[in-house]
């Protein structure tokens, strides 16, 4: 595929990608756009040129605070819309070439939350991560709890505190039990951590009582974003038994602004780890359902350069998205367009592929070096955590951009 738009070969937003996002210029209305190279294609303006005529889309759907209404048009329409854009951007005599105002420079806009998130669920689906945590906090010989290989463990999180890349957060306070104390104290968390995750956005609602099978699941997934599930390990350790994470997680999670569609990720599908023992029939999934997505976490200390602290890959996930969604709806729980499902921390086998500071510093016992002799066990005030992700096959690159969040001192 060859586009007439100038794009760098290392751009995440190649002609093969075309992710959707919500942007605004100065004080104007929020609009839906598609990223290509360093530019954004204004979809309202594109629609007004008539290129979506066969789809019968009202141009107004592109003047919106969120992608939800566009996504609700259904995959038949949204997939076709993306294909039309792709075709036009490759067609040297396209009508899009006559109107420069439909392209906006990414550096000139403000990006916004891409979807209005109704519900948010976080899974725990990397076997390396779950094993590391179980080894540290329980028993290395029985690191995985008995249910782990039989179902994708998850918990219901807060959607209210999911924020966009670029928004700063404050160090959370909470109840912790210090090692040498016999009673808890309420204080600033001293173990603030990131979790390298990917989120997927629900593209089709179900009715209460219905279940989605692993075979159907991809029809219900619109696309993916990078997801940093901020965590306070000291709060988590004290509160999590018996009902799981609560305030240790709900102070913030950050996402990248561009939603990469499942269709753009199709060439990067790969098979996941072998599941042993065999899962129950309702969770069985056939074929390649994992994705080869290179992931990276960097820490930028105040006034310093960023330093890579982890390199992982989404293909390591033991449970895939189809199984997560099948499990989530297996009891008849309904899902809605815009719901966010996060993968759980994505760790690999190697110690430099762990997806959290908890694992990288092995609960604070091995400091992680940054630039200029600096090191970290957890995240300090004024540190910025950056996550990036991309797929690459030959010269074809499809990337996610980044999710970048600075941790400020407690309020």
The mark string for 233-272 relative to Mn ion (x by CB under 5 A, - otherwise) is ----------------------------------------
Tokens, residue 201? 């956005």
Nearer to Mn ion, 42 or 122 (CB): 122
Which among 164, 187, 55, 47 is positioned nearest to 110, based on CA atoms? 164
CB of 155 to Mn ion, least distance (A): 9
Catalytic: which of 112, 129, 156, 282? 129
DSSP 278: P
Query: Distances in Å between the alpha carbon of 183 and those of 157, 174, 176, 246, 283?
Result: 27, 14, 9, 20, 43
Tokens, residue 252? 């913030």
From 122, 239, 263, 359, residue interacting with Mn ion (rule: CB under 5 A): 122
Nearer to Mn ion, 119 or 122 (CB): 122
Window of 45-53, 60-68, 191-199, 392-400 that interacts with Mn ion by CB under 5 A: 191-199
Is 129 designated active site? yes
Q: Cβ 330 to Mn ion, closest distance in Å?
A: 21
Please say which residue, 128 or 195, places its beta carbon nearer to Mn ion: 195
Count of chain residues binding Mn ion (CB under 5 A):
3
- DSSP-derived letter for residue 33 is E
- Asked if 383 interacts with Mn ion (CB under 5 A), we say no
Q: List residues bridging with 110 in a β-sheet.
A: 24
Report the residue number, 49 or 144, with the smaller CB distance to Mn ion: 144
Query: Any contact of residue 229 with Mn ion (CB under 5 A)?
Result: yes
Radius of gyration of the chain (CA): 21
- Closest distance between Mn ion and the C-beta of residue 193, in Å? 10
**Cα dihedral across residues 160, 161, 167, 171: positive or negative:** positive
If one asks whether residue 12 binds Mn ion (CB under 5 A), the answer comes out as: no
Nearer to Mn ion, 12 or 122 (CB): 122
- Which residue, 279, 264, 291, is CA-closest to 326? 279
Is residue 31 within 8 A of residue 63, CB to CB? The reply is: yes
Does 88 participate in binding Mn ion (rule CB under 5 A)?
A: no
The whole-angstrom separation of Cα 377 and Cα 366 is 7
Q: How far is the CB of 384 from Mn ion (least distance, A)?
A: 20
For the beta sheet containing 103-105, the strands, ordered from the edge strand earlier in sequence to the opposite edge, are 103-105, 39-42, 31-36, 20-24, 110-112
Q: How far is CA 168 from CA 230, 254, 273, 410, in A?
A: 12, 10, 36, 12
CB of 122 to Mn ion, least distance (A): 5
Q: Does 195 bind Mn ion (CB under 5 A)?
A: yes
Nearer to Mn ion, 221 or 248 (CB): 248
Q: Which residue has the tokens 């595929």?
A: 1
Q: Is residue 193 a contact residue for Mn ion (CB under 5 A)?
A: no
CB 356 → Mn ion: shortest distance, Å?
9
The answer to whether the CB of 405 falls within 8 A of the CB of 253 is no
Residues tagged active-site: 129
Site residues, Mn ion (CB under 5 A): 122, 195, 229
């Amino acid at each position: 595929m060859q586009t007439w738009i100038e794009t760098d070969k290392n751009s995440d937003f190649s002609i093969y990608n075309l992710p959707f996002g919500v942007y605004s210029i100065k004080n104007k209305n929020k609009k839906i756009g598609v990223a290509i190279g360093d530019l954004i294609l204004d979809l309202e303006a594109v629609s007004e040129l008539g290129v979506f005529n066969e789809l019968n889309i009202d141009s107004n759907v592109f003047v919106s605070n969120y992608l939800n209404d566009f996504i609700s048009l259904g995959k038949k329409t949204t997939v076709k819309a993306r294909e039309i854009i792709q075709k036009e951007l490759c067609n040297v005599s396209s009508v899009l070439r006559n109107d420069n105002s439909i392209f906006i420079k990414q550096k000139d806009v403000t990006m916004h939350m891409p979807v209005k998130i109704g519900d948010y669920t976080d899974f725990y689906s990397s076997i390396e991560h779950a094993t590391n945590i179980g080894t540290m906090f329980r028993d290395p010989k029985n690191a995985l709890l008995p249910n782990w290989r039989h179902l994708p463990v998850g918990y219901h999180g807060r959607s209210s505190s999911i924020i966009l890349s670029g928004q700063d957060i404050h160090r959370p306070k909470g109840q912790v039990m210090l090692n040498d104390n016999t009673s808890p104290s309420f204080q600033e968390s001293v173990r603030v951590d990131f979790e390298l995750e990917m989120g997927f956005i629900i593209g089709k609602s179900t009715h209460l009582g219905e279940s989605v099978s692993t075979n159907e699941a991809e029809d219900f997934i619109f696309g993916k974003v990078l997801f940093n599930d901020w965590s306070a390990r000291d709060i988590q350790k004290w509160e999590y038994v018996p009902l799981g994470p609560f305030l240790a997680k709900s102070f913030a999670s950050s996402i990248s602004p561009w939603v990469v569609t499942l269709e753009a990720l199709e060439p990067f599908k790969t098979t996941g780890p072998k599941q042993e023992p065999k899962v129950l029939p309702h969770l069985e999934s056939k074929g390649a359902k994992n994705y080869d997505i290179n992931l990276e976490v960097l820490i930028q200390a105040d006034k310093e350069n960023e330093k890579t602290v982890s390199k992982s890959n989404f293909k390591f996930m033991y449970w895939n998205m189809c199984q997560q969604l099948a499990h989530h709806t297996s009891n008849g729980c309904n899902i809605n367009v815009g719901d966010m499902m996060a993968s759980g921390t994505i760790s690999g086998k190697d110690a430099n592929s762990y997806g959290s500071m908890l694992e990288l510093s092995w609960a604070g016992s091995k400091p992680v070096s940054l630039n200029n002799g600096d090191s970290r066990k957890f995240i300090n005030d004024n540190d910025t955590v950056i996550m990036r992700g991309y797929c690459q096959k030959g010269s074809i690159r499809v990337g996610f951009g980044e999710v970048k969040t600075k941790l400020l001192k407690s309020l």
